[in-house]
Amino acid sequence: MSAEYVLQMKDITKRYGENTVLEDVSLSVRPGEIHALLGENGAGKSTLMNILFGMPVIHATGGFSGTVSLDGAETHIQSPHDAMEKGIGMVHQEFMLLPGFTITENIKLNREITKPNLVSRVFGKNLETLNMKAMAKDARTALDSVGMSIDEYTLVQGLPVGYMQFVEIAREIDKKGIKLLVFDEPTAVLTESEAEQLIRVMKQIAATGIAIIFITHRLDEVIAAADSVTILRDGKLVATRDAKKTNTLELAELMIGRKGESMVTAPDRDKPHGDKVALEINHLCVDMPGEEVRDVSLKVYEGEIFGIGGLAGQGKIGIPSGIMGLYPAAGEVNVFGAAHELGNPRKSLENGLAMVSEDRRGVGLLLEQSIEDNIVFNAMQIKGEYLMGIRLLFSLRDSRKIRKVANQMIKDLDIRCTSALQHAGTLSGGNQQKVCIARALLMRPKLLFVSEPTRGIDIGAKKLVLETLVRLNREQGMTIVMVSSELMELRSICGRIAIVSEGRTVDVLKATDTDVNFGLAMSGIRPNQEGGSVNG
């Protein structure tokens, strides 16, 4: 540990085609330091770590510019395996453990201690016997160092989630010559006491001289655990702070920030929304994998654009999906005063709800069918429109009417395509999104859910999609509930924005609220009761 920094990444720039995802980012980590890496979704944290681990995705997309130095010497990390050899370890967010193996076997996987036997002397090293005793001893040491008293011969299968996290950490610690450990949102799946224990273990590990990069979005944990903090926003380095000289408020503000001028501005209105409640949600739970909604209560008024924000995986997407009936849901939902049946997509559509899904290719489109077939599908199936012949008994699609309405929509929404017959799968992301919106519009919905409308589409298309939403709201008085990870977008067109964290609504903020309030809400802290988080 002769050099001052165990890891130095300097002026890292990474482009995916035209799109710059990292620009001149630098990161320096001292030995034995816990260094927090903070940022919103898409701020560039994962890309930075991918570069550090030499992931194939980086090399396959043209590499990066800038230098990476370990212990003061410049290195080129070719592959994740290479990174491991050079003493960089990773504790994954999703556990990479084999459930049918014991803890010892998992810890020692691919680094087994072996002893020679008769067969191996003839056929080579691959057939040597496992030295279970020595392996168990090593595993015991590693487990002890993370404070786990569990027996090292236990199967991983059936262990509590928190234990698996510690086994994963133990595995990384057990690696010889480990210098740097990366923790990728380790507390996301842990209970409060487990999280506390984890932080304690991290500090213990750091005390032995191993540096730790701690990726998280929980501001209070950063303050509690980290020595220094690096904050990324939009692929740029915002600031590096000493954790002892900062506080959650400053971090929240740095993390959110004002990202330049807003692209779209909704014209102000005298009265932001009507008095009638369009959508009332009480204690909604939705079982959507990766986006669980635990307890959400909201009120959306007629004629407003209501935003739902929050970080990825916190449950905001689960809200519209649950109400539309795509996933099992429980709770009480009233639409325009009438009770709404959950779990029945057809009923939802018939009741005047419509949704533009965030998963365009998975749920939103028939990729192998034409634009026109995509656009009229719902109206045809639910409302029985665009059909000719005897209803119910023998009804055929009315090609002429379909072509007419499709061309109209292509013109209105400026869908760039060769013709209405082009397959939806061959369109660009933005145009696919417009096709999805067109389909929702043909249902003439009273309430429109728009989920991540700008995900994966270019800036021009983003502007057009947002403008379309504003126009629908202002001109036709359509109530819109927009779910987005991009706070900027929500704040530019929504009147009120609910922030969701860990499946619960933290707060409903006005678009004009301060960055600090948004930043705190995003990390689960209710702004008006500063310091303590709602959910502990």
Partner 1 sequence: MGNQKARAIASVLIVVLALVLIVTGVVGMSRRATATGEEILTNMRTRAVLIATGEGAVESYVAIAADQAREAAQAAGASMSEIREAVAAAEEEARNNSSANLLDYATADTTGLDAALSTLRAALMDYRAEEAAAEAAYVEQMQATAAPEETEVDTSQLTSEADLEAMLAEEEEVEVDMSGFVATERMNELRAIADEKYAGVCTELMALYDTLDQAALDTLEGTIFDIVSQSGDDFAREYDRYNAAGGAAALSNRFGAWVIRYGDDLVYVGVGLILAALVVFFYPTLVKKLGVPRMIIGLFFVLLCVVALIYDLSLSGLMSNTLVRMGMNSILVLAMAPGIQCGIGLNLGLPIGIVGGLIGGLLAIEWQIGGWLGFVFACLVGMAISAVSGALYGMLLNRLKGSEMSVTTYVGFSIVSLMCIAWLVLPFNSLELRWPLGTGLRNTIVMSDATSFGHILDNFLSFSIGGFTVPTGLLLFMALCCYLVWLFMRSRTGVAMMAVGNNRRFAEATGVNVDRMRIIGTMISTMLGAVGILVYSQSYGFMQLYTAPRQMGFVAASAILIGGATTSRCKISHVLIGTFLFQGVLTLGMPVANALVPQSTISETMRILISNGIILYALTKSGGEQRA
| Binding residues for partner 1 (CB under 8 A) | 324-326, 344-350, 355, 357, 359, 362-369, 373, 377-378, 380-382, 384, 387, 394-397, 425-426
Which of residues 41 and 395 has its CB atom nearest to partner 1 in the complex?
395
Minimum CB separation of residue 286 from partner 1 in Å reads 14
Minimum CB separation of residue 347 from partner 1 in Å reads 7
Minimum CB separation of residue 302 from partner 1 in Å reads 25
Exposed, middle or buried, 403 (CB in 10 Å: 0-12/13-18/19+)?
middle
3-class DSSP state of 20: strand
Minimum CB separation of residue 424 from partner 1 in Å reads 10
Which of residues 220 and 398 has its CB atom nearest to partner 1 in the complex?
398
| 472/458 Cα distance (integer angstroms) | 21
Q: How far apart are the first and last CA of the chain?
A: 38
Angle at 334 between CA 332 and CA 337, to 5 degrees: 145
Minimum CB separation of residue 74 from partner 1 in Å reads 35
Which of residues 38 and 405 has its CB atom nearest to partner 1 in the complex?
405
Check if the beta carbon of residue 441 is closer than 8 Å to that of residue 407.
Answer: no
Minimum CB separation of residue 288 from partner 1 in Å reads 13
Minimum CB separation of residue 325 from partner 1 in Å reads 8
Exposed, middle or buried, 337 (CB in 10 Å: 0-12/13-18/19+)?
exposed
Which of residues 181 and 379 has its CB atom nearest to partner 1 in the complex?
379
Which of residues 272 and 343 has its CB atom nearest to partner 1 in the complex?
343
| 450/389 Cα distance (integer angstroms) | 34
Check if the beta carbon of residue 195 is closer than 8 Å to that of residue 203.
Answer: no
| 221/197 Cα distance (integer angstroms) | 12
- Using CA atoms, how far residue 403 sits from 124, 408, 410, in Å, is 70, 9, 10
Which of residues 83 and 355 has its CB atom nearest to partner 1 in the complex?
355
Which of residues 357 and 479 has its CB atom nearest to partner 1 in the complex?
357
Which of residues 32 and 343 has its CB atom nearest to partner 1 in the complex?
343
3-class DSSP state of 242: strand
Check if the beta carbon of residue 297 is closer than 8 Å to that of residue 282.
Answer: yes
Which of residues 18 and 275 has its CB atom nearest to partner 1 in the complex?
18
Minimum CB separation of residue 340 from partner 1 in Å reads 14
Check if the beta carbon of residue 274 is closer than 8 Å to that of residue 487.
Answer: no
What length is written for the chain? 536
Lookup result for tokens 């905001």? 316
Minimum CB separation of residue 319 from partner 1 in Å reads 15
| 178/292 Cα distance (integer angstroms) | 36
Question: Alpha carbon 429 to chain centroid distance?
Answer: 19
